[in-house]
C-alpha cells in the first residue's frame, strides 16, 4: 500500500510540474506574439532608415531645349539685381557699388555673369585649385536665368595670412534646365554657403556647400 501511495504522489508531482512548465511555455508564447509586431516595426524602421532618407530627396522636372525670346524677356523683367548684405546693411552689388565693399565682393558679379551667360570657362576660372581637388570641372552648362539674388556676409577667418570669407548665397532660377544645379526646381530658392578665399590671382571660390535642414 505504501508503495502505491508513493507512486501516486510521484505521478501527481510530475503532473503538477508538467502543468507548470506547460503554463510557462504558454505565457512565453503569448508574450512573444505581443512583442513580435513592435519589434518587427522597430527592425523595419532601422533597416529602412537609409531608404527613407533617400526617398526624401525630391525629383524635379527640368526645362529642356533653348529658351524662347519671350522667356528671356520675361526673365529680364524679374529682379536680377544682386542684393549684397554686410552687417545688416544691404545694397545692390554692381560695378559702380564695388568701392563700398571689400575685394571679395567682385567674385559674385563674375559668378552670376558667368552662369547667366552659360560660360563654363569663365565659371571654372572662379574656383581655387583646392576646390577642384574634390569637385570635377563642369565642361558645359546652359544659361542659368538667375533672379532674386541675395548674398549675405556671415563670417571670416585668416589662417597663415590667407583670408577666407563665408557667405550665404541664395537665388532662384527661371525655368531651371538642370545643367548646373540639380538640387532645386524652377522658381525656388535653396541657399548655399560659399567660402571665398584670397589667392594671388584675387578672391576665388574655395567651397560651395548646402545648408542642411535641422
Report the topology of domain 69-210: Nuclear Transport Factor 2; Chain: A, (3.10.450)
Alpha carbons 151 and 191: distance in angstroms, whole number: 9
Tell me the HSE value of 72 on the side-chain side, using a 13 A CA sphere: 7
Pair 124, 135: CB distance under 8 Å? no
Task: Give the pLDDT of the chain (214 residues) as one tens digit per residue.
Answer: 544 444 545 444 455 444 444 444 444 434 444 444 544 444 444 444 444 444 455 678 899 989 999 999 999 999 999 999 999 899 999 999 999 999 999 999 999 999 999 999 999 999 999 999 999 999 999 999 999 999 999 999 999 999 999 999 999 999 999 999 999 999 999 999 999 999 999 999 999 999 876 5
With a threshold of 0.85, does the pTM exceed it?
Answer: no
What is the residue extent of each domain of the chain? Answer: 2-56, 69-210
Looking at residue 59, its pLDDT comes to 78
Cell 537609409: give the residue.
Answer: 50
- Confidence (pLDDT) at 57: 57
**Which of these, 208, 114, 125, 127, lies nearest to 170 by C-alpha position?**
208
pLDDT at 51: 42
Amino acid at each position: 500500500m505504501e508503495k502505491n501511495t508513493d507512486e501516486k504522489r510521484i505521478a501527481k508531482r510530475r503532473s503538477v510540474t508538467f502543468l507548470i512548465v506547460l503554463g510557462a511555455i504558454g505565457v512565453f508564447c503569448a508574450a512573444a506574439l505581443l512583442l513580435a509586431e513592435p519589434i518587427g516595426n522597430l527592425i523595419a524602421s532601422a533597416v529602412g532608415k537609409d531608404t527613407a532618407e533617400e526617398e526624401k530627396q525630391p525629383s524635379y522636372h527640368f526645362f529642356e531645349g533653348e529658351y524662347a525670346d519671350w522667356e528671356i524677356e520675361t526673365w529680364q523683367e524679374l529682379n536680377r539685381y544682386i542684393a549684397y548684405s554686410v552687417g545688416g546693411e544691404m545694397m545692390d552689388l554692381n560695378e559702380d557699388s564695388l568701392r563700398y565693399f571689400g575685394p571679395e565682393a567682385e567674385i559674385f558679379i563674375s559668378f552670376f555673369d558667368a552662369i547667366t551667360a552659360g560660360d563654363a570657362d569663365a565659371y571654372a576660372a572662379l574656383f581655387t585649385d583646392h576646390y577642384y581637388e574634390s569637385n570635377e570641372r563642369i565642361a558645359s552648362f546652359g544659361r542659368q536665368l538667375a533672379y532674386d539674388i541675395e548674398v549675405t556676409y556671415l563670417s571670416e577667418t585668416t589662417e597663415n595670412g590667407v583670408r577666407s570669407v563665408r557667405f550665404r548665397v541664395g537665388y532662384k532660377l527661371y525655368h531651371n534646365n538642370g545643367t548646373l544645379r540639380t538640387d532645386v526646381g524652377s522658381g525656388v530658392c535653396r541657399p548655399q554657403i560659399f567660402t571665398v578665399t584670397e589667392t594671388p590671382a584675387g578672391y576665388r571660390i574655395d567651397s560651395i556647400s548646402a545648408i542642411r535642414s535641422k
